[in-house]
């Protein structure tokens, strides 16, 4: 962990500084006897006390850092790491849930399209069957009406032919009586008209 490495590094630096001061301290103290003038902090005679207080202050700061500040920093880093891990787990679960929802949506969409196509095919088949049935009924109705019209036309034709024969017989009877001056019976005139119609048919 970074905090523990920092603590070990500080402890190593403190021990190295102490060893250096123990070795160099007597030499500096001996030289300090010759130089009493100048800045007091640069006077080798006061190096021993300065080193002592440096070690005490550094040790106190190291103790405060290791017991107060660094544990709090470690807690904050652990809480941050835990929050990041929880967020990553939550994001993974949300991603899996979103993928499951997307798959369910795609399946539902595919099923809906299949159902719509089946319903459309059923509707088209029913419409085609209904149209075929209506076309059959219409064709039968038209055939029946055509036959009825043909029967009526044939009947009208027979009536018209009957009327034409009667009129032709009357006309022939009138023409013979007018041209020749002989009265011809209606039966004779109709028989002559019938003979002429048979010849032309």
Structural domain boundaries of the chain? Answer: 2-94, 153-200
Mark out the alpha helices in 33-180 (DSSP H runs). Answer: 47-64, 70-179
In the predicted model, what is the mean pLDDT of residues 142-158? 89
**Distances, alpha carbon 49 to alpha carbons 43, 81, 157, in Å:** 11, 45, 153
Within a 13 Å sphere around the CA of 39, how many CA atoms are in the beta-carbon half?
2
Specify the pTM.
Answer: 0.38
Q: Which among 191, 184, 195 has a CA at the least distance from the CA of 166?
A: 191
Per-residue pLDDT reduced to its tens digit, 76-93 = 999 999 999 999 999 999
Measured between alpha carbons, how far is 94 from 54 in angstroms, rounded to an integer? 56
Q: Which residue has the higher pLDDT, 73 or 169?
A: 73
pLDDT at residue 148 above 70?
A: yes
Per-residue pLDDT reduced to its tens digit, 3-62 = 566 667 666 666 766 666 566 555 555 554 444 566 777 777 888 888 899 999 999 999
100-127 core/surface letters (b: 16 or more CB in 10 A; e: else) = eeeeeeeeeeeeeeeeeeeeeeeeeeee
Give the lowest-confidence range in 49-53, 104-108, 173-177: 173-177
pLDDT at residue 186 above 80?
A: no
Per-residue pLDDT, 9 = 67
């Amino acid at each position: 962990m970074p905090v523990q490495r920092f603590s070990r590094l500080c402890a190593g630096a403190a021990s190295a500084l102490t060893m250096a001061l123990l070795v160099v301290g007597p030499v500096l103290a001996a030289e300090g006897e010759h130089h009493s003038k100048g800045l007091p902090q640069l006077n080798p005679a006061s190096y021993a006390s300065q080193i002592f207080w440096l070690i005490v202050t550094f040790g106190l700061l190291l103790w405060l850092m290791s017991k107060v500040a660094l544990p709090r920093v470690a807690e904050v880093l652990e809480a941050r790491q835990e929050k990041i891990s929880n967020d990553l787990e939550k994001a993974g679960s949300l991603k899996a849930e979103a993928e499951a929802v997307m798959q369910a949506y795609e399946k539902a969409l595919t099923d809906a399209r299949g159902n719509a196509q089946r319903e459309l095919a059923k509707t088209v088949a029913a419409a085609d069957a209904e149209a075929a049935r209506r076309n059959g009924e219409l064709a039968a109705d038209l055939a029946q009406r055509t036959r009825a019209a043909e029967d009526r036309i044939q009947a009208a034709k027979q009536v018209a032919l009957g009327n034409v024969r009667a009129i032709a017989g009357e006309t022939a009877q009138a023409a013979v009586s007018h041209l020749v001056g002989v009265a011809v019976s209606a039966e004779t005139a109709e028989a002559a008209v019938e003979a002429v119609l048979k010849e032309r048919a």
